[in-house]
Amino acid sequence: GQSCAGGLTCGTVSCCDSILVPGGVFPMGRSASGTDAFGDGIVEEQPEHNATLDSFYLDTFEVTVGRFRKFVQAYNGTPPTEGAGDHHGLGAGWQGAWNKNLPANQAALISSLNCSPSYQTWTDEAGANENRPINCVSWHQAIAFCLWDGGRLPTEAEWEYAAAGGSENRLYPWGTTDPSVDKSLANDAHTDGDASPFIDVGSHSKGQGRWGHQDLAGGVWEWTIDVHSGQWYSGGGASCNNCENVEDIGASYRVIRGGCWLNHRLELRAAYRTKANPTLPTASLGFRCSRNK
């Protein structure tokens, strides 16, 4: 992606590194007695149902401040083209009605990134935060970035597939170990002293997912393209193919995944799902991009 033009390195690899996730079938949602069973899980994680996905690429890291700075520098208020990102023809591409939700110009975009003096990672000048996850980004801004960078926002199914390790159906991206017991697994509320948005991406590599993705649990919450609905896992647990919940594309809330530095083991699970207002940027919320094979 052009967000790493000129080179941006996170650890030993490009901050734009993207890992191929091989397609397959996995049990989406939370089981009652399987490998991802969890006694305190929430109702809308069920019923567990088979989801089939094509292969796709998913960014190794959450989008960093340095990558997003390239987008800000290029931004002039021009929205994505109609339909961009609709990779399965299900209606999830960019819609002209969303144009009004983008900042009018670069100055307005920068203003929106300054959403929390104490916790925002954006700085108007490049500094110590360049390899930290960008936050204070709205859902529309996240989509616009991913499309500009040659990708798209992941579907909720793609995100969970990567976090659960596909058919391995992991409880957490790293497996079954309780993050309150091993505090080195994620940037979360269990860690000793470093639970903060101001932690470089990839700093908790012990907690990486099956295919090598970093920070799928903790760090910042991550936007997905899907509309949030408490009924999405209902309907008798029907199987689905390249699932995208876009039935009500004008809905108020979108699905977010993965938990953040403020969260505990409940929210860090691969099956945990909740929602956020797409127009309201917060310091606990960021994203990563998905890419077609």
pTM for the complete prediction? 0.96
The dihedral built from the CA positions of residue 122, 125, 126 and 129, taken in this order, carries a sign that is negative
pLDDT of res. 177: 97
Separation CA 132–CA 122 (nearest Å): 9
pLDDT of res. 185: 96
SS3 content of the chain, % helix, strand, coil (to 5): 20, 15, 65
pLDDT of res. 244: 83
Q: DSSP 3-state assignment of 108?
A: helix
pLDDT of res. 41: 87
Residues facing 21 on adjacent strands? 56
End-to-end CA distance of the chain: 14
CB 52 within 8 A of CB 242: yes
Compute mean pLDDT per 10 residues along the chain, 293 residues long, and list them: 93 97 95 93 88 96 98 98 89 92 98 97 98 98 98 96 98 97 95 87 97 98 89 60 76 92 97 95 97 93
Dihedral angle at the C-alpha atoms of 14, 160, 92, 197, nearest 10 degrees?
-50
CA neighbours within 13 Å on the CB side: how many for 91?
A: 9
Q: Structure tokens of 244?
A: 């995208």
